């Protein structure tokens, strides 16, 4: 079996890239995921050839046979990361090896092929290099990178796919929330859960997001922007939002976040914030937190700030929590001082404004 090297990419430059003036317009007001860059990376996998045909080329549509497995059985995993503009005009990734590692864990859970970590990182770096003019600057704008993999075997029968396509696309992004970083409102779903023990909650797969949308819709009908999921067994323990982890800040300055027991997505932002908070001498507990405790702690004043975190939105304060029989405001409804401190500590490293004591910043150019 010839498992050819996948770190050398055949490069074909786009012949009709977006004109510079139009690109500048897009970068000035990128939204989130509205525009894609000129190029994409693709690497193919087959049982016979292993990973092969690593290419960087003009972004193009995919052509799929209607019986392609991903279209029927949701064999899809993805990652979300950003290339940040550096003060000296360069560009850098943030902990890309962690994304590569998590990608393979997701692949394992969905019975998909393992992509060597260095191929994953090389693919992302190649795309950032060729589309470097698409990295926006100013505020917290960055180039969002979306590596993903689909099962491409042509078969209606359900079994692990024997072929895969790994793809990386990129999109310039501004602030994730339209209203900037003012507090978000959160609906506590009683009717839906996101992940059960033994399920796919810790895998970054499209299916988890598809299954969360009905809850999202339910929350929107209640005037809430996000949904908070409780554990599937007792319907009591706080897990996370559909795409963000959650942190609690207490009166004594300590911080708590639910532990990674297999039903929560192990966020890289979550992990980085735990480290940064401990660096600053804060006590951080990775311990379960019950919804009834949350309500009691809000009423007693012991709980002072709550925030959600993830690569896309970075750190977003949660200002309001609403359920079937309660509706509570957290703090002043805006960004609390500890949330602001941790958010700044993280973004200062990501954007190259502060020292990087943990070696998280990976310069691409």
Ligand X SMILES: *Cc1c(COP(=O)(O)O)cnc(C)c1O
Q: Which chain residues interact with ligand X by CB under 6 A?
A: 80, 204, 240, 243-245, 265, 267-270, 310-311
Q: Find the shortest distance in angstroms from Cβ 362 to ligand X.
A: 15
Q: Residues 149, 167: contact at Cβ < 8 Å? A: yes
Helix (H) or strand (E) holding 321: strand 314-323
Output 44 or 226, the one with its CB closest to ligand X.
226
Nearest residue (CB) to ligand X, 26 versus 74: 74
In the complex with ligand X, the residue whose CB is nearer, 45 or 176, is 176
Closest distance of CB 109 from ligand X, Å: 13
Nearer to ligand X, 82 or 322 (CB): 82
Q: Which is nearer to ligand X, 9 or 237 (by Cβ)?
A: 237
Least distance from ligand X to the Cβ atom of residue 9, Å: 25
Q: Which is nearer to ligand X, 80 or 199 (CB)?
A: 80
* Greatest pairwise CA separation for the chain in angstroms: 64
Taking CA atoms, 71 is separated from 74, 212, 221, 338, in Å, by: 6, 19, 29, 44
In the complex, least distance from residue 94 CB atom to ligand X, rounded to whole angstroms = 10
232, two tokens:
């599937």
C-beta of residue 154 within 8 angstroms of C-beta of residue 67: yes
Closer CB to ligand X, 267 or 317, in the complex: 267
Residue 231's alpha-carbon distances to 40, 194, 256, 268, 287, in angstroms, are: 38, 8, 17, 21, 13
Task: Tokens 């079937």: give the residue.
Answer: 324
Q: How far is the CB of 239 from ligand X (least distance, A)?
A: 9
Q: Shortest distance, CB of residue 112 to ligand X, whole angstroms?
A: 17
DSSP 126-178: HHHHHTGGG---STT-EEEEEEEEEE--B-SS-S--SEEEEEEEEEEE--SST
Please tell me the chain's helix, strand, coil percentages from 3-state DSSP, rounded to the nearest 5: 25, 30, 45
Q: Shortest Cβ distance from residue 313 to ligand X (Å)?
A: 9
Q: Which helix (H) or strand (E) holds 122?
A: helix 117-130
- Distances in Å between the Cα of 124 and the Cα atoms of 49, 57, 89, 233 are 22, 13, 19, 38
Helix (H) or strand (E) holding 221: helix 206-221
Task: State which residue, 76 or 240, has the beta carbon closest to ligand X.
Answer: 240
Sign (positive or negative) of CA dihedral 230, 78, 360, 137: negative
- Minimum Å distance from CB 288 to ligand X? 17
């Amino acid at each position: 079996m010839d498992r050819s090297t996948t770190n050398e990419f055949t490069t074909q430059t786009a012949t009709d890239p977006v004109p510079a003036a139009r690109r500048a317009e897009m970068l000035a007001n990128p939204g989130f995921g509205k525009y894609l860059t000129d190029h994409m990376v693709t690497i193919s996998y087959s049982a016979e050839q292993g990973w092969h045909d690593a290419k960087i080329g003009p972004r193009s549509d995919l052509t799929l046979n209607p019986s392609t497995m991903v279209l029927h059985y949701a064999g899809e995993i993805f990652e979300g990361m950003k290339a940040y503009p550096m003060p000296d005009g360069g560009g850098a990734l943030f902990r890309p090896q962690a994304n590569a590692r998590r990608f393979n864990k997701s692949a394992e859970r969905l019975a998909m092929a393992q992509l060597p970590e260095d191929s994953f990182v090389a693919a992302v770096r190649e795309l950032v290099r060729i589309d470097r003019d698409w990295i926006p600057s100013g505020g917290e704008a960055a180039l969002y990178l979306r590596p993903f993999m689909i099962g491409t075997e042509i078969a209606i029968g359900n079994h692990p796919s024997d072929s895969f396509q790994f793809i990386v696309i990129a999109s310039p992004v501004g602030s994730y929330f339209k209203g900037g970083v003012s507090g978000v409102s959160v609906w506590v779903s009683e009717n839906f859960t996101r992940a059960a023990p033994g399920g796919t909650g810790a895998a970054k797969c499209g299916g988890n997001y598809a299954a969360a949308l009905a809850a999202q819709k339910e929350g929107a009908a209640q005037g809430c922007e996000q949904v908070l999921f409780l554990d599937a067994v007792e319907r009591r323990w706080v897990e996370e939002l559909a795409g963000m982890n959650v942190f609690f800040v207490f009166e004594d300055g300590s911080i708590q976040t639910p532990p990674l027991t297999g039903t929560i997505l192990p966020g890289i932002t979550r992990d980085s914030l735990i480290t940064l908070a401990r660096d600053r001498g804060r006590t951080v507990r990775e311990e379960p937190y019950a919804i009834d405790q949350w309500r009691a702690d809000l009423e007693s004043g012991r709980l002072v700030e709550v925030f959600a975190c993830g690569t896309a939105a970075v750190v977003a304060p949660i200002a309001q929590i609403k359920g079937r029989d309660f509706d509570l405001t957290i703090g002043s409804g805006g960004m609390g001082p500890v949330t602001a401190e941790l958010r700044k500590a993280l973004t200062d490293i990501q954007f190259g404004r502060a020292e990087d004591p943990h070696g998280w910043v990976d310069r691409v150019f």
